[in-house]
A and B are shown apart, each in its own frame.
Chain A
Amino acid sequence: MPDPRERRHLSRRGFVQGASLSAFALGGSGLLSACGTSGAKVDQDECRSTDKSDSEQQLAFSNWPLYIDPIKAKNTSTLEAFEQETGITVDYTADVNDNDGFYAKVAPQLSECKSTGRDAFALTDWMAARMIDLGWIQELDHDNMPNVDANLLDWFKTPAWDPDRKYSVPWQAGMTGICYNSKLVDPVESFEDLLTRPDLKGKVTVLSEMRDTMIFMLLLQGADPEDFTSQEYSAAIGELKSAVDSGQIRRFTGNDYIDDLKSGNVVACESWSGDVSQLGGDNFKWVKPSEGFAVWADNMMVPNLATHKANVEKLIDFYYQPKVAAQLAAWNYYVCPVRDAADHMAEFDKSAVDNPLIFPDEQELDAGIDFMPLDSGQDKEYQQQFNEVQSG
C-alpha cells in the first residue's frame, strides 16, 4: 500500500500521465473536425438582422482599390458630398483585392450566420452570383433607390443571376482586354500576339482570376466562352500551359500588373479598362483584342446581418445621380452604368466626354463576352486545372 503522503507530491511520472491525459482530452476537441464540414449555404430566415439605419447614421463599405475619387479631398469628393447631404458617416475600406481573396475573408462568417462587420461590398458578377445563390445577400428595397430604377442602363438591368436586380446594383463596370507600352513595343492587337510574339517573350502577364484569362484562351481555341465543353476547356488550359512553360507568360497577376507595367518589367498584359488612366503617360494603350473582349460589372451588395441596409440604399441612390456618376467615372475611367452621366462629364473632364471606355454604346457592350455560369462542381474542377497551370 502506497504511503498516503506520497499522493500529495507531484511525481514526474504523475505529471507526464496527467499532462498527456489532459492533452488527449483537449486534443479530442479537435475531433469535431472528424465529422466533415457542412455546406456554406445558409437559410436566410435564420440570418436576419434588424435594420438600425434610423438610429445609427453610419455604414461600412468595402470596395476595390482605386475605385473611388479621393475620399479625403475636402469639398470635392463624392463621398464627402454624400456624408454632408445625408449625415451618414461612411467607413470606406479598399480591402477587396480580388474576388477569391475577399470571399475567403468573409466566407467563415457568412456561412455561419455571423456578421462580417460590413454593410456593403462590391464584387464581380460571377462572385455576386455565387453569394446570392448561397443565401448570403439581403434583398434591396428599390423604393429607396428611385435613381437606380430611372438611370441604370438597360444593358445592366437583367443579369441571368439576378434578373430583377433584387440583390445587387452595379458600382462600376469595365472591360477586360490588353494594355501595352507603345514606347517599348509595336502595337499588340490580339491575345494571340500576346501569347506568341517573340519580342514579348517573358514580358507578358495575364490575370490570375480564372474567368478573366480563360475567356481569351477559349476564344483562341475557337470555343464559345458562353457555352463550352470540358474538352474545349482542357484544350484551352493546354495552350495556356504551353505559353507558361515556354516562358512567354511571365506571371499571373491581380491588380498589381500596374506596378510591372510602370517599371517596364512587363510591356504588354491582360488588363482591365479603367486602369490605363491610373498609369498616366500616353505610352500606355488599352485595346480590345481582335478575338473579343469581356464585359463585367462590380456589384454592390448588402450581406446578411448587416445592420445599415437603408443607409446603403441611400448611398447607392446617391451614386446613381448622373452628375455624381460622371464625377466618379471622370476619376476611375471605368464603364459608367448610369444613364445620362455623359451629359455632365464636361464639368469634370472634357476629354472623357465621348470616351468609349467610359460610355460605350449598348451595341458595343452587346459584343462583350461573358463566362458561362458554372455549378459548384465545374467551378472547382476548372479552377483546379487553372491553378495547376498557375502554380507550375
Chain B
Amino acid sequence: MSQRPAPVVDGETARRRGYGWLLLVPGMLWLVVFFLIPTVQLFFTSLYDPSGSYELGYAMTWHFQNYPDAVRDNFDLFVRSFLYAGITTFVCLLLAYPLAYAIAFKSGRWKNFLLVLVIAPFFTSFLLRTLSWSAILSDQGVVTSLLKSVAILPEDGRLLATPVAVIAGLIYNFLPFMTLPLYASLDKVDPRLIEAAGDLYSSPFTGFRKVTVPLSMPGVVSGTLLTFIPACGDYINAELLGTTRQYMIGNRIQAAFLRERDYPVAATLSLLLMLVVVAMVVVYVRRAGTEKLV
C-alpha cells in the first residue's frame, strides 16, 4: 500500500469550515431516536384520560389533572425514594472517599489490582448480587443470628424485608459508581501541591481540607450524581430485599406499566421523577460550582 500524505487541515481551518460539528451527528441521532421521541411519547401518554383502560383503549383528552393526582397519590413514595437515595449517596461517599484516596495515593504497585477489585462485582449480574444479599441477610442466616446474639437486634428482629436491607443493597450496588469518579479525580491531584501545603506549615488535616478536597470536588459531584440518580429510580433492591412498605417510586411505575397497564399514571410518574431529579441536580450542580468539571 502506498502511503499518501494526509491532507493537512490545521485546527483553525477545521473550525472555520465547521466539519467538527458533523461529528455530533451520530450522537444527536441516537439521542433523538432513543431519548427525544420516547420522551415526547411519554409526555403525550401522561395526558391520556385515566378513565380508559388498556383493553378499551385510552383517549387523548389533554388531562393535565394527572399530574397533581399523581403527586397527591404518591407523595410518600417520592419522599421515601429520595430519602433512601440520599442516605445511599451519603454513605457511599463516606465509604468510597477513603477507599479511592487509598487507591490513588497509598496503593503503590497494587493500584491496578485494587481497581479491578472495585469493578469485580460487575462480572456477575446485578440481579444475582442482590439475590445473594437476600440469602446473607435472611432471618435464619449468620448475620442476623450474630447481631441477635450480641443484642444489636432484638430477639424477634430481622434484617431482610426492612429499610436497612434495602438501603444496604442500594449502597452495595452503587458503591463502584461513587468510587471510580472519586478515584479518577484524586489520582489527578498533584502530590507536590500537598507537599507545598506542608511546607507552608499547614497541618496534614488542613492540607487535606484546603488542597485535596477542593481538587477532588469534580469526582465528588460526578460520583454523587452517578449514585443518586439511578438510586432514585431503582426498584430491584426494594423488590428483592424489602417489602411493600419499602417500595420506591420505581416499583410503582413498574406495577403501573406492567401489572395495571395504567399507562397514563405510569407515564406521569416517570416524567415527574425525571423532572424532580433534573431540578435537584441543577440546584446541586450550581451550588457545588462545577465550572471546572469538564
Contacts and interface: CB of A to CB of B under 8 A. Distances in A.
B224 interface: no
Interface string B225-240: 0000000000000000
A347 to B, nearest CB: 39
B44 to A, nearest CB: 4
B245 A392 contact: yes
A22 B37 CA distance: 12
B54 interface: yes
Interface in B9-65: 16-19, 21-22, 24-25, 28, 32-33, 36-41, 44-45, 48-49, 52-60
Contacts of B52: 36-37
Contacts of B156: 201-202
Contacts, number: 148
Interface residues of A, number: 55
B252 A9 contact: no
A241 to B, nearest CB: 10
A244 B247 CA distance: 13
A250 B161 contact: yes
A10 B140 contact: no
A35 B60 contact: yes
B148 to A, nearest CB: 14
B260 A37 contact: no
B44 A30 contact: yes
B255 interface: yes
Name the residue in A33, A34, A38 with the highest tally of chain B Cβ atoms < 10 Å from its Cβ.
A33
Contact of B36 (A30, A34, A250, A380): A30
Nearest to B267: A33
Contacts of A23: 28, 32, 36
Contact of A29 (B18, B37, B53): B37
Interface string B170-195: 00000000000000000000000000
B55 A41 contact: yes
From DSSP, what is the main secondary structure of chain A's interface residues?
Answer: helix
Nearest to A98: B259
Given A12-B18, A27-B32, A27-B37, A202 B244 contact: no
Given A15-B21, A244-B245, A26 B32 contact: yes
A19 interface: yes
B138 A263 contact: yes
Contact of A37 (B21, B57, B139): B57
B197 interface: no
B244 A251 contact: yes
Nearest to A29: B37
A18 B48 CA distance: 32
* Chain B interface bracket (under 10, 10 to 19, 20 to 34, 35 or more): 35 or more
A19 to B, nearest CB: 6
B263 A37 contact: yes
B133 to A, nearest CB: 13
B140 A264 contact: yes
B55 A36 contact: no
Contacts of A377: 53
Contacts of B49: 36
Given A40-B55, A40-B57, A392-B77, A10 B17 contact: yes
A73 interface: no
Interface string B70-90: 000100110000000000000
Contact of A9 (B18, B158, B244, B261): B18
Contacts of B55: 39-41, 130, 134, 376
A99 to B, nearest CB: 10
B160 interface: yes
Contacts of A36: 48-49, 52, 57-60
A33 B47 CA distance: 10
A377 B243 CA distance: 28
Given A36-B59, A387-B255, A387-B256, 10 more contacts: A32-B41, A37-B52, A39-B56, A245-B245, A251-B244, A252-B244, A265-B158, A383-B259, A390-B247, A392-B246
Closest 10 A-B residue pairs measured CB to CB? A30-B40, A39-B57, A36-B60, A15-B21, A264-B140, A251-B243, A33-B41, A30-B37, A10-B18, A33-B44
17 contacts: A12-B18, A14-B18, A26-B33, A26-B36, A30-B44, A34-B44, A37-B48, A38-B57, A39-B56, A40-B56, A104-B257, A250-B243, A251-B161, A251-B242, A376-B53, A391-B252, A392-B247
Interface of B: 16-19, 21-22, 24-25, 28, 32-33, 36-41, 44-45, 48-49, 52-60, 73, 76-77, 135, 138-140, 156, 158, 160-161, 242-247, 251-252, 255-263
